[in-house]
Amino acid sequence: MPRGRIGARFAGLAAERRPGFIPYVTAGYPTLAHTRDLLAGLAELGADAIELGIPFSDPVADGPTIQRSSQGALDNGTTVDDIFAALAELRRASEVPVVIFSYLNPVNSRGVEAFVTEAVDAGADGILTTDLPFGEDPALEAQLSESALDFVRLVAPTTRPDRVRDIAGASQGFVYYVSRTGVTGARAGLRDELARETAAVRAVSPVPVAVGFGVSTAGQARAAASEADAVVVGSALVDRLDAEGVPGALALALELRRALDGAGR
């Protein structure tokens, strides 16, 4: 039996034989009002899940776009309380699954138990911590795994095959496959090896596999979805938000949604 909203959504995608679309939003950028509008719009156009990024001052795994948006959110005073309030507002209107995307510092600063409790109360379904490698802190990992949030794990192209199996086996909701080494950011193209690598992860994973990092166009999304259960898009949406506001970001999201709908299996 799939667990919670994330599991139910991926079960639905499997039944529909189509890949999922997971957009990323930097909470509070450029303002909380933009975030609320984006969340509502993404839910309405059919996002299968949403990654809600907690802004952090030193986002080392992120490229220039997400770094800029994170700093902008912090500069305008965005707090975790504000983010949870925006999530709670979304949850009153939509059942779209939401994964909190965060570095450990904001979680630890609040206290892990308090953060998780408040995230669940606001309507979050999962958490992905970018700077907590598998096996790094077994006690903290156990605390997150045993919580009401699905603890989503990361796998990279450089991860050893035996470790891929272990990480995927510990992941809840889905496993996030990083499409390339380095930081986040839109790219001109995807690596030729991506489909083969994604298939290898799926072969040993008991949970669905989502691919992200660098996917920015409809064509890239379709290509990434050839072996993935879902595709994550972040930097391209933030860039479009900068250039054309919320309507432009939602227009790109709809284009990506339709491209993935056309990539059914």
Q: How confident is the model at residue 265, as a pLDDT?
A: 58
Regions in the chain scoring below 50 on pLDDT: 1, 181-188
Helical H runs in the chain? Answer: 4-16, 32-45, 64-75, 80-93, 104-110, 112-122, 138-145, 161-170, 194-204, 218-224, 235-261
What are the tens digits of pLDDT across the range 20-77?
999 999 999 999 999 999 999 999 999 999 999 999 988 776 778 899 999 999 999 9
Q: Which pTM was predicted? A: 0.94
Catalytic residues, which ones? 51, 62
Do 177 and 202 touch, CB atoms closer than 8 A?
Answer: no
Q: How confident is the model at residue 59, as a pLDDT?
A: 72
Residue 158, number of CB atoms within 10 A of its CB: 8
Q: How confident is the model at residue 192, as a pLDDT?
A: 74
Residue in 45, 51, 48, 46 with CA at minimum distance from that of residue 26: 51
Q: How confident is the model at residue 184, as a pLDDT?
A: 46
